[in-house]
Amino acid sequence: MAIHERSLVEPERILRKERLVIDGIDVSGDWNLIILPRVINDYDLDFAKEIVNSPDGKTINQCYQCSYCTASCPVHNYWDERYNPRHFIHLARLGLIDELQKRADVMWRCVSCHKCTHRCPKGVLVEEVLKVILRTMAKRGLIEEYPSKKFDKFFTEQVLEYGRIEDGELLFGWIEKQGYKVVKDPILRKPIPFIGETPEWLKQLTMKPIKSMNIGFLILNAKHMLFHPRTKNWNKFKHVLRKVMEEEGALAH
């Protein structure tokens, strides 16, 4: 017997027997499959309230669970069936924190392609809502640090510091955060691309403009790596920005 939306049921709750005899009656065949009931400990209704109260999460209650978002989602279709936006919204509205936590390893995988938001017939900003769910979970300490959040914070810190980002520093900084040993020059503390443990593909890609003698490109990017491009008149604005982000708890831990 097929199970509808099997990815929503944990494998250990599915019992399948080759031969099953109950009270002396052989019920093998169509009845050999049992889904064990799950235990729900608590509903946390404040969780949904917190989401509704944020400006980007207030559309969550318009959802009528049609699953158009899940049908559109490339992560669900091409990567992992357990990534199911409709189900996450359902769980968040009910306040089933335990169930959300069980899916913490896939919940961050949204690639922000906005197919869900675009196609939702009820006007739910699905992508935004999912990010608010994640943000709320992180704020309550319900989910561990996940890769995309690390990157988001790393990116945002650069924006906050300089007003602009720079590709080289972003790339090498991220490589370093992932545990590669990036060698830096002793004076300006900037990464040197060719020595150290940078991954092979990155080495080869940085070699390309050198091999093709693309001098202008090299000079521009070297200059940007050495002297990070900055927005002028940024300092006063930076303080306001930092204050706002601290209020939202964005800079914590």
**Residues of span 98-137 touching another protein by CB under 8 A:** 109, 111-115, 117-118, 120-123, 125, 127, 131, 134-135
Based on CB atoms, which residue is closest to another protein, 27 or 205?
205
- Minimal distance, residue 5 CB to another protein, in Å: 21
Joined tokens for residue 50 = 């917190």
The gap between the terminal CA atoms of the chain, to the nearest Å, is 47
Under the binding rule (CB under 8 A), the answer on residue 234 touching another protein is yes
CA dist 239 and 108 (Å) reads: 30
| Residue 182 within binding range of another protein, rule CB under 8 A | no
Q: Which of residues 156-175 bind another protein (CB under 8 A)?
A: 156, 159, 163-168, 170-171, 174
How many chain residues touch another protein (CB under 8 A)? Answer: 73
The answer for residues whose C-beta is within 8 angstroms of residue 247's C-beta and 6 or more apart is: none
Q: What is the DSSP string of 128-169?
A: HHHHHHHHHHHHTT-S---HHHHHHHHHHHHHHHHSS--HHH
Is residue 28 a contact point for another protein (CB under 8 A)? no
Q: Report residue 249 as tokens.
A: 């708890």
CA nearest neighbour of 173 among 200, 202, 151: 151
Which residue stretches of the chain are H helix? Answer: 45-52, 68-72, 74-78, 85-94, 97-102, 104-107, 115-119, 126-139, 147-162, 167-177, 200-211, 215-226, 235-248
Work out whether 85 is an interface residue with another protein (CB under 8 A).
Answer: no
Interface with another protein, residue 60, by CB under 8 A:
no
Q: Which is nearer to another protein, 2 or 240 (CB)?
A: 240
Query: Binding to another protein by residue 241, rule CB under 8 A?
Result: yes
Which one of the spans 13-21, 34-42, 179-187, 219-227 is the region binding another protein (CB under 8 A)? 219-227
Q: In angstroms, what is the minimal distance from the CB of 231 to another protein?
A: 4
At its nearest, how many Å lie between another protein and the CB of residue 10?
Answer: 23
